[in-house]
Amino acid sequence: MIFIAAKFPVKPEHADNWADIAKDFTIATNAEEGCLFFEWSRSMEEPNTYVLVEAFRDDESGATHVQSDHFKKATTELPAYLSATPDIINVRVDDWSKLGEMAVS
């Protein structure tokens, strides 16, 4: 699986509306066959920052994503709402693991 975490620093005047701004991109990406998940969260410490956590089944699915029309549209339109270039982590992993320190019995 390709696992990606990205921090999106949104301009303060757009932070409260980011979910609506990114909605079409999010829906289209989640509909991709190789997308395992594509989920946004708002930072509790930096309210103008949104964290995107996403995963794709394999390299082919990731390539299909970045070649899609909705990805190209997002890379053209979304930067206007950002205060800086997003930071990203992109790694290959096997799958989820359990957080043993918080095991629920």
- Convert the pLDDT of each residue in 33-52 to its tens digit: 999 999 999 999 999 999 99
Question: pLDDT digit string (tens) for 54-99?
Answer: 999 999 999 999 999 999 999 999 999 999 999 999 999 999 999 9
Rg (CA), the chain: 15
Angle at 18 between CA 29 and CA 28, to 5 degrees: 15
**How far is residue 84 CA from its own chain's centroid?**
16
Whole-number average pLDDT of the chain: 97
SS3 call for 55: strand
| % of the chain surpassing 70 pLDDT | 100
User: pLDDT at position 42, please?
Assistant: 98
Instruction: Enumerate domains of the chain plus CATH numbers.
Output: 2-94 (3.30.70.100)
How sure is the predictor about 16, in pLDDT bands with cuts at 50, 70 and 90?
very high
